[in-house]
Structure 1
Amino acid sequence: MSRRRRGLTPEEKALWHRVADTATPLSARIRQKGGVASDDDRDDAAGKDPEPRVRPQTVFSPMPRFRIGQAAGAAGPDHSRAPSPAERLAAAPLRMDHKVHKRMSRGKIRPEARLDLHGMTLAAAHPHLIHFILSAHAQGHRLVLVITGKGRGDHGPLPTRPGALRHQVPHWLHTAPLSAVVQQVTPAHYRHGGEGAYYVYLRRPAG
Protein backbone atom coordinates (compact mmCIF):
# COMPACT_ATOMS: atom_id res chain seq x y z
CA MET A 1 0.00 0.00 0.00
CA SER A 2 1.60 3.26 -1.17
CA ARG A 3 1.95 6.21 1.10
CA ARG A 4 0.23 9.45 0.07
CA ARG A 5 2.59 12.40 -0.41
CA ARG A 6 2.11 15.27 1.97
CA GLY A 7 1.50 18.63 0.33
CA LEU A 8 3.30 21.87 1.22
CA THR A 9 2.00 23.86 4.05
CA PRO A 10 1.08 27.53 3.47
CA GLU A 11 4.24 28.61 5.35
CA GLU A 12 6.48 26.38 3.14
CA LYS A 13 4.83 27.71 -0.06
CA ALA A 14 5.45 31.32 1.03
CA LEU A 15 9.14 30.54 1.78
CA TRP A 16 9.56 28.84 -1.64
CA HIS A 17 8.13 31.86 -3.49
CA ARG A 18 10.46 34.23 -1.66
CA VAL A 19 13.54 32.13 -2.71
CA ALA A 20 12.30 31.78 -6.31
CA ASP A 21 11.87 35.55 -6.64
CA THR A 22 15.61 36.09 -5.96
CA ALA A 23 16.80 33.69 -8.74
CA THR A 24 17.48 34.75 -12.37
CA PRO A 25 16.37 32.27 -15.02
CA LEU A 26 19.03 30.96 -17.43
CA SER A 27 17.10 32.27 -20.42
CA ALA A 28 17.26 35.81 -18.96
CA ARG A 29 21.10 35.61 -18.66
CA ILE A 30 21.32 34.58 -22.32
CA ARG A 31 19.10 37.45 -23.40
CA GLN A 32 21.28 39.95 -21.50
CA LYS A 33 24.35 38.72 -23.44
CA GLY A 34 22.80 39.17 -26.86
CA GLY A 35 20.91 35.90 -27.17
CA VAL A 36 24.00 33.64 -27.37
CA ALA A 37 24.88 31.32 -24.55
CA SER A 38 28.53 31.39 -23.55
CA ASP A 39 30.65 28.37 -22.72
CA ASP A 40 30.41 29.24 -19.04
CA ASP A 41 26.57 29.35 -19.23
CA ARG A 42 26.40 25.98 -20.97
CA ASP A 43 28.78 24.47 -18.44
CA ASP A 44 26.70 25.88 -15.58
CA ALA A 45 23.52 24.53 -17.11
CA ALA A 46 25.04 21.07 -17.54
CA GLY A 47 26.44 21.13 -14.01
CA LYS A 48 30.03 20.74 -15.22
CA ASP A 49 33.14 22.59 -14.20
CA PRO A 50 34.34 24.89 -16.95
CA GLU A 51 37.48 23.71 -18.76
CA PRO A 52 40.58 25.86 -18.27
CA ARG A 53 41.19 28.22 -21.14
CA VAL A 54 44.60 28.34 -22.81
CA ARG A 55 45.85 31.84 -23.51
CA PRO A 56 47.48 32.30 -26.92
CA GLN A 57 51.25 32.68 -26.66
CA THR A 58 52.84 35.88 -27.96
CA VAL A 59 55.74 35.30 -30.35
CA PHE A 60 58.48 37.90 -30.02
CA SER A 61 60.75 38.65 -32.97
CA PRO A 62 64.50 38.60 -32.22
CA MET A 63 66.04 41.95 -31.25
CA PRO A 64 68.55 43.45 -33.70
CA ARG A 65 72.18 43.30 -32.69
CA PHE A 66 73.28 46.54 -31.06
CA ARG A 67 76.85 47.74 -30.69
CA ILE A 68 78.06 49.61 -27.64
CA GLY A 69 78.30 53.29 -28.43
CA GLN A 70 76.07 53.07 -31.50
CA ALA A 71 73.07 55.39 -31.64
CA ALA A 72 69.65 53.76 -31.81
CA GLY A 73 68.72 53.15 -35.42
CA ALA A 74 72.22 53.92 -36.65
CA ALA A 75 74.02 51.56 -38.95
CA GLY A 76 77.60 51.22 -40.12
CA PRO A 77 80.93 51.18 -38.29
CA ASP A 78 81.33 52.12 -34.67
CA HIS A 79 82.54 55.73 -34.36
CA SER A 80 82.78 55.81 -30.56
CA ARG A 81 86.64 55.62 -30.60
CA ALA A 82 88.31 58.73 -29.23
CA PRO A 83 90.32 60.67 -31.84
CA SER A 84 94.10 60.37 -31.75
CA PRO A 85 96.33 63.41 -31.06
CA ALA A 86 97.17 63.61 -34.78
CA GLU A 87 93.46 63.60 -35.70
CA ARG A 88 92.68 66.36 -33.20
CA LEU A 89 95.54 68.51 -34.49
CA ALA A 90 94.49 67.95 -38.09
CA ALA A 91 91.00 69.22 -37.22
CA ALA A 92 92.39 72.39 -35.56
CA PRO A 93 92.17 75.65 -37.54
CA LEU A 94 95.25 76.72 -39.52
CA ARG A 95 96.90 79.76 -37.86
CA MET A 96 100.00 80.04 -40.04
CA ASP A 97 100.86 80.60 -43.66
CA HIS A 98 99.44 77.79 -45.80
CA LYS A 99 102.55 77.36 -47.94
CA VAL A 100 104.87 77.27 -44.93
CA HIS A 101 102.58 74.75 -43.22
CA LYS A 102 102.60 72.53 -46.30
CA ARG A 103 106.42 72.56 -46.49
CA MET A 104 106.67 71.92 -42.75
CA SER A 105 104.24 68.97 -42.88
CA ARG A 106 106.30 67.41 -45.68
CA GLY A 107 109.45 67.63 -43.55
CA LYS A 108 111.08 70.18 -45.84
CA ILE A 109 111.79 72.69 -43.03
CA ARG A 110 114.53 71.77 -40.59
CA PRO A 111 113.68 72.42 -36.90
CA GLU A 112 115.98 74.96 -35.25
CA ALA A 113 115.96 73.21 -31.86
CA ARG A 114 114.72 69.96 -30.39
CA LEU A 115 113.63 68.59 -27.02
CA ASP A 116 113.54 64.87 -26.26
CA LEU A 117 110.99 63.99 -23.54
CA HIS A 118 111.03 60.29 -24.34
CA GLY A 119 111.09 58.17 -21.17
CA MET A 120 110.20 61.01 -18.78
CA THR A 121 107.23 61.00 -16.45
CA LEU A 122 104.47 63.57 -16.92
CA ALA A 123 105.58 65.41 -13.77
CA ALA A 124 109.15 65.73 -15.04
CA ALA A 125 108.31 66.47 -18.67
CA HIS A 126 106.00 69.43 -18.08
CA PRO A 127 108.56 71.88 -16.61
CA HIS A 128 111.16 70.81 -19.21
CA LEU A 129 108.68 71.60 -21.99
CA ILE A 130 107.81 75.03 -20.57
CA HIS A 131 111.46 76.02 -20.20
CA PHE A 132 112.39 74.79 -23.68
CA ILE A 133 109.53 76.52 -25.54
CA LEU A 134 109.92 79.88 -23.74
CA SER A 135 113.69 79.82 -24.26
CA ALA A 136 113.32 78.97 -27.96
CA HIS A 137 110.84 81.80 -28.43
CA ALA A 138 113.15 84.26 -26.64
CA GLN A 139 115.97 83.26 -29.00
CA GLY A 140 113.81 84.01 -32.04
CA HIS A 141 113.31 80.41 -33.21
CA ARG A 142 110.23 79.74 -35.31
CA LEU A 143 110.16 75.93 -35.70
CA VAL A 144 111.19 73.52 -32.96
CA LEU A 145 110.74 69.77 -32.52
CA VAL A 146 109.36 68.08 -29.38
CA ILE A 147 109.92 64.32 -29.19
CA THR A 148 107.53 62.34 -26.99
CA GLY A 149 107.90 58.81 -28.36
CA LYS A 150 104.92 56.67 -29.27
CA GLY A 151 104.89 55.48 -25.67
CA ARG A 152 104.32 52.26 -23.78
CA GLY A 153 103.21 54.07 -20.63
CA ASP A 154 105.09 56.38 -18.29
CA HIS A 155 106.60 54.89 -15.16
CA GLY A 156 105.48 57.23 -12.43
CA PRO A 157 103.94 56.80 -8.97
CA LEU A 158 100.49 56.56 -10.55
CA PRO A 159 99.54 54.35 -13.54
CA THR A 160 99.01 56.19 -16.82
CA ARG A 161 97.68 55.09 -20.18
CA PRO A 162 100.14 54.08 -22.93
CA GLY A 163 101.52 57.09 -24.82
CA ALA A 164 100.56 59.54 -22.07
CA LEU A 165 103.19 62.07 -23.15
CA ARG A 166 102.07 61.88 -26.78
CA HIS A 167 98.51 62.71 -25.66
CA GLN A 168 99.42 65.34 -23.05
CA VAL A 169 102.05 67.47 -24.82
CA PRO A 170 99.62 69.03 -27.37
CA HIS A 171 97.35 69.97 -24.46
CA TRP A 172 100.23 71.68 -22.63
CA LEU A 173 101.25 73.55 -25.78
CA HIS A 174 97.73 74.98 -26.15
CA THR A 175 97.38 76.14 -22.52
CA ALA A 176 99.07 78.89 -20.53
CA PRO A 177 101.84 79.87 -20.38
CA LEU A 178 102.83 78.26 -23.70
CA SER A 179 99.69 79.17 -25.65
CA ALA A 180 100.88 82.81 -25.75
CA VAL A 181 103.95 81.92 -27.87
CA VAL A 182 102.81 78.78 -29.76
CA GLN A 183 101.17 79.43 -33.13
CA GLN A 184 100.69 75.92 -34.56
CA VAL A 185 101.28 72.31 -33.52
CA THR A 186 101.33 69.46 -36.03
CA PRO A 187 102.60 65.86 -36.04
CA ALA A 188 106.16 65.61 -37.30
CA HIS A 189 107.15 64.11 -40.63
CA TYR A 190 108.45 60.55 -40.42
CA ARG A 191 112.05 61.76 -41.00
CA HIS A 192 111.75 63.76 -37.76
CA GLY A 193 109.98 61.15 -35.64
CA GLY A 194 106.51 60.76 -37.17
CA GLU A 195 103.76 60.04 -34.63
CA GLY A 196 106.29 60.16 -31.78
CA ALA A 197 107.14 63.86 -32.27
CA TYR A 198 105.55 67.26 -32.90
CA TYR A 199 106.46 70.31 -34.90
CA VAL A 200 105.87 73.44 -32.79
CA TYR A 201 105.70 76.62 -34.85
CA LEU A 202 106.31 79.67 -32.65
CA ARG A 203 105.08 83.25 -32.99
CA ARG A 204 107.45 86.03 -33.84
CA PRO A 205 108.95 87.67 -30.74
CA ALA A 206 107.38 91.03 -29.92
CA GLY A 207 109.44 94.06 -30.93
Structure 2
Amino acid sequence: MSRRDDHLSDDDRILWNLVARSARPLKGKTAVEIPDIVEPKPEPPRPAANGVPALATKPKTPHVAHSLDDQTLHKLKKGRLPIEGRVDLHGMTQDEAYSLLLTFLNRAHASGIRYVLIITGKGSSSGGDGILRRAVPAWLSTPAFRHLVSSHDHAARNHGGSGALYVRLRRIRP
Protein backbone atom coordinates (compact mmCIF):
# COMPACT_ATOMS: atom_id res chain seq x y z
CA MET A 1 0.00 0.00 0.00
CA SER A 2 1.46 3.38 -0.96
CA ARG A 3 1.51 6.51 1.15
CA ARG A 4 -0.40 9.43 -0.32
CA ASP A 5 0.15 12.18 2.26
CA ASP A 6 0.34 14.85 -0.42
CA HIS A 7 -3.24 14.22 -1.58
CA LEU A 8 -5.25 14.63 1.62
CA SER A 9 -8.70 16.14 1.28
CA ASP A 10 -9.68 19.06 3.51
CA ASP A 11 -11.75 16.73 5.70
CA ASP A 12 -8.85 14.29 6.06
CA ARG A 13 -6.47 17.12 6.92
CA ILE A 14 -8.84 18.47 9.60
CA LEU A 15 -9.38 15.01 11.02
CA TRP A 16 -5.62 14.42 11.11
CA ASN A 17 -5.07 17.75 12.90
CA LEU A 18 -7.72 16.85 15.49
CA VAL A 19 -6.11 13.47 16.14
CA ALA A 20 -2.57 14.86 16.17
CA ARG A 21 -3.46 17.57 18.69
CA SER A 22 -4.94 15.01 21.06
CA ALA A 23 -1.87 12.75 20.95
CA ARG A 24 0.83 12.96 23.62
CA PRO A 25 4.50 12.38 22.77
CA LEU A 26 6.28 9.26 23.96
CA LYS A 27 8.41 9.47 27.06
CA GLY A 28 11.64 11.33 26.28
CA LYS A 29 10.36 12.70 22.94
CA THR A 30 9.36 16.28 22.18
CA ALA A 31 5.98 17.22 20.75
CA VAL A 32 5.76 18.19 17.09
CA GLU A 33 4.24 21.62 16.50
CA ILE A 34 1.09 21.36 14.37
CA PRO A 35 0.36 24.53 12.41
CA ASP A 36 -3.10 26.04 12.50
CA ILE A 37 -5.15 26.21 9.33
CA VAL A 38 -4.29 29.54 7.75
CA GLU A 39 -6.84 31.31 5.63
CA PRO A 40 -5.60 33.10 2.53
CA LYS A 41 -5.24 36.87 2.92
CA PRO A 42 -6.91 39.11 0.36
CA GLU A 43 -4.55 40.53 -2.22
CA PRO A 44 -3.79 44.26 -2.03
CA PRO A 45 -5.20 46.34 -4.91
CA ARG A 46 -2.89 46.50 -7.90
CA PRO A 47 -1.93 49.78 -9.55
CA ALA A 48 -3.32 50.51 -12.98
CA ALA A 49 -1.35 49.13 -15.94
CA ASN A 50 -0.59 52.55 -17.45
CA GLY A 51 1.14 53.78 -14.30
CA VAL A 52 -1.74 56.08 -13.33
CA PRO A 53 -2.97 55.33 -9.84
CA ALA A 54 -6.39 53.73 -9.70
CA LEU A 55 -9.27 55.94 -8.63
CA ALA A 56 -10.27 55.62 -5.03
CA THR A 57 -13.35 53.46 -4.84
CA LYS A 58 -15.83 53.28 -2.06
CA PRO A 59 -15.10 50.18 0.02
CA LYS A 60 -17.76 47.53 -0.11
CA THR A 61 -19.88 47.27 2.98
CA PRO A 62 -19.16 44.01 4.76
CA HIS A 63 -21.77 41.28 4.58
CA VAL A 64 -23.34 40.84 7.97
CA ALA A 65 -25.33 37.76 8.86
CA HIS A 66 -28.85 38.71 9.87
CA SER A 67 -31.65 36.77 11.50
CA LEU A 68 -33.80 34.61 9.26
CA ASP A 69 -37.06 36.18 8.16
CA ASP A 70 -40.18 34.93 9.96
CA GLN A 71 -41.61 33.07 6.95
CA THR A 72 -38.40 31.13 6.31
CA LEU A 73 -37.95 30.37 10.01
CA HIS A 74 -41.52 29.04 10.20
CA LYS A 75 -40.99 26.82 7.14
CA LEU A 76 -37.77 25.40 8.59
CA LYS A 77 -39.42 24.71 11.95
CA LYS A 78 -42.34 22.91 10.29
CA GLY A 79 -40.12 20.92 7.94
CA ARG A 80 -41.44 22.58 4.77
CA LEU A 81 -37.95 23.73 3.83
CA PRO A 82 -35.36 20.95 3.76
CA ILE A 83 -32.29 21.10 5.96
CA GLU A 84 -29.75 19.81 3.46
CA GLY A 85 -26.80 19.44 5.80
CA ARG A 86 -25.96 19.26 9.48
CA VAL A 87 -22.84 19.34 11.59
CA ASP A 88 -22.56 18.36 15.25
CA LEU A 89 -19.94 20.22 17.28
CA HIS A 90 -20.65 18.49 20.62
CA GLY A 91 -17.62 17.81 22.77
CA MET A 92 -15.15 19.72 20.60
CA THR A 93 -12.77 22.44 21.64
CA GLN A 94 -13.21 25.87 20.07
CA ASP A 95 -10.29 25.29 17.70
CA GLU A 96 -11.62 21.93 16.55
CA ALA A 97 -15.15 23.26 16.15
CA TYR A 98 -14.00 26.35 14.24
CA SER A 99 -11.96 24.31 11.75
CA LEU A 100 -14.72 21.76 11.21
CA LEU A 101 -17.41 24.44 10.85
CA LEU A 102 -15.42 26.46 8.33
CA THR A 103 -14.68 23.39 6.20
CA PHE A 104 -18.28 22.16 6.45
CA LEU A 105 -19.76 25.52 5.41
CA ASN A 106 -17.26 25.92 2.55
CA ARG A 107 -18.17 22.49 1.17
CA ALA A 108 -21.91 23.05 1.65
CA HIS A 109 -21.72 26.43 -0.09
CA ALA A 110 -19.69 24.99 -2.97
CA SER A 111 -22.32 22.24 -3.34
CA GLY A 112 -25.12 24.79 -3.65
CA ILE A 113 -26.75 23.87 -0.33
CA ARG A 114 -28.92 26.66 1.09
CA TYR A 115 -29.99 25.56 4.62
CA VAL A 116 -27.91 23.74 7.21
CA LEU A 117 -28.25 22.93 10.90
CA ILE A 118 -25.34 23.55 13.27
CA ILE A 119 -25.64 21.67 16.55
CA THR A 120 -23.62 23.36 19.29
CA GLY A 121 -25.16 21.80 22.37
CA LYS A 122 -26.68 23.74 25.24
CA GLY A 123 -23.69 23.80 27.52
CA SER A 124 -22.67 22.13 30.73
CA SER A 125 -25.16 20.44 32.99
CA SER A 126 -24.13 22.78 35.81
CA GLY A 127 -26.35 25.48 34.35
CA GLY A 128 -23.69 27.53 32.54
CA ASP A 129 -23.96 28.66 28.96
CA GLY A 130 -21.98 26.53 26.56
CA ILE A 131 -18.85 28.00 25.03
CA LEU A 132 -19.77 26.89 21.50
CA ARG A 133 -23.36 28.01 21.97
CA ARG A 134 -22.06 31.56 22.48
CA ALA A 135 -19.10 31.43 20.11
CA VAL A 136 -20.65 30.01 16.92
CA PRO A 137 -23.07 32.91 16.27
CA ALA A 138 -20.17 35.32 16.75
CA TRP A 139 -18.01 33.32 14.34
CA LEU A 140 -20.70 33.51 11.67
CA SER A 141 -20.26 37.30 11.58
CA THR A 142 -16.48 37.18 11.12
CA PRO A 143 -14.81 37.75 7.73
CA ALA A 144 -14.00 34.04 7.37
CA PHE A 145 -17.71 33.16 7.32
CA ARG A 146 -19.32 36.33 5.92
CA HIS A 147 -19.01 35.32 2.28
CA LEU A 148 -20.73 32.00 3.08
CA VAL A 149 -23.51 32.86 5.55
CA SER A 150 -26.51 34.95 4.63
CA SER A 151 -28.44 34.62 7.90
CA HIS A 152 -28.86 32.43 10.94
CA ASP A 153 -31.27 31.92 13.85
CA HIS A 154 -31.93 29.58 16.75
CA ALA A 155 -33.45 26.25 15.76
CA ALA A 156 -36.88 24.96 16.71
CA ARG A 157 -37.23 22.67 19.69
CA ASN A 158 -37.54 19.58 17.47
CA HIS A 159 -34.20 20.45 15.84
CA GLY A 160 -32.28 21.13 19.06
CA GLY A 161 -33.77 24.40 20.30
CA SER A 162 -31.28 26.83 21.76
CA GLY A 163 -28.51 24.24 21.30
CA ALA A 164 -28.69 24.46 17.51
CA LEU A 165 -28.76 27.07 14.75
CA TYR A 166 -30.40 27.24 11.36
CA VAL A 167 -28.03 28.79 8.81
CA ARG A 168 -28.94 30.06 5.35
CA LEU A 169 -25.94 30.02 3.03
CA ARG A 170 -25.45 32.59 0.30
CA ARG A 171 -26.15 31.70 -3.30
CA ILE A 172 -23.18 30.99 -5.52
CA ARG A 173 -22.51 33.95 -7.79
CA PRO A 174 -21.97 32.96 -11.43
Question: What interval of TM-score do these two structures reach, taking the shorter chain for normalisation?
Answer: 0.5 to 0.7
In the alignment, is residue 115 of structure 1 matched against residue 87 of structure 2?
yes
Q: Is the 8 A contact 1:181 1:202 kept in 2?
A: yes
> Which whole-Å deviations, capped at 9, do the CAs of 1:159-203 have from their partners, x for residues lacking one?
xx6400000000111111111120111001111111110000011
Q: Which of 146, 151, 162 is 1:184 aligned to? A: 151
Q: Which runs of 5+ in 2 are unaligned?
A: 1-63
Q: Which of 157, 168, 189 is 2:135 aligned to? A: 168
Instruction: Kindly report which structure 2 residues correspond to 1:193-204, keeping only aligned pairs within 5 A, or say none.
Output: 193-204=160-171
Structure with more contact order per residue of length (Cα contacts < 8 Å, sep ≥ 6): 2
Q: 1:191 to 1:142 in 2, by over 3 A?
A: same
TM-score, scaled to structure 1? 0.48
Give the partner amino acid of 1:169: V
Identity %: 41
Of 100-109 and 140-149, more deviation after overlay is shown by 100-109
> Which whole-Å deviations, capped at 9, do the CAs of 1:15-36 have from their partners, x for residues lacking one?
xxxxxxxxxxxxxxxxxxxxxx
Higher Cα Rg, which structure: 1
Cα distance between partner residues in 2 of 1:106 and 1:139: 24
Q: 1:94 to 1:148 in 2, by over 3 A?
A: closer
Cα distance between partner residues in 2 of 1:93 and 1:137: 15
Secondary structure at 1:177 match in 2: helix
TM-score, scaled to structure 2? 0.56
In the alignment, is residue 139 of structure 1 matched against residue 108 of structure 2?
no
> Which whole-Å deviations, capped at 9, do the CAs of 1:71-106 have from their partners, x for residues lacking one?
xxxxxxxxxxxxxxxxxxxxx985766532332245
Deviation >4 Å, runs of 4+? 92-98
> Which whole-Å deviations, capped at 9, do the CAs of 1:36-80 have from their partners, x for residues lacking one?
xxxxxxxxxxxxxxxxxxxxxxxxxxxxxxxxxxxxxxxxxxxxx
Residue 150 of structure 1 corresponds to which residue in structure 2? Answer: 122
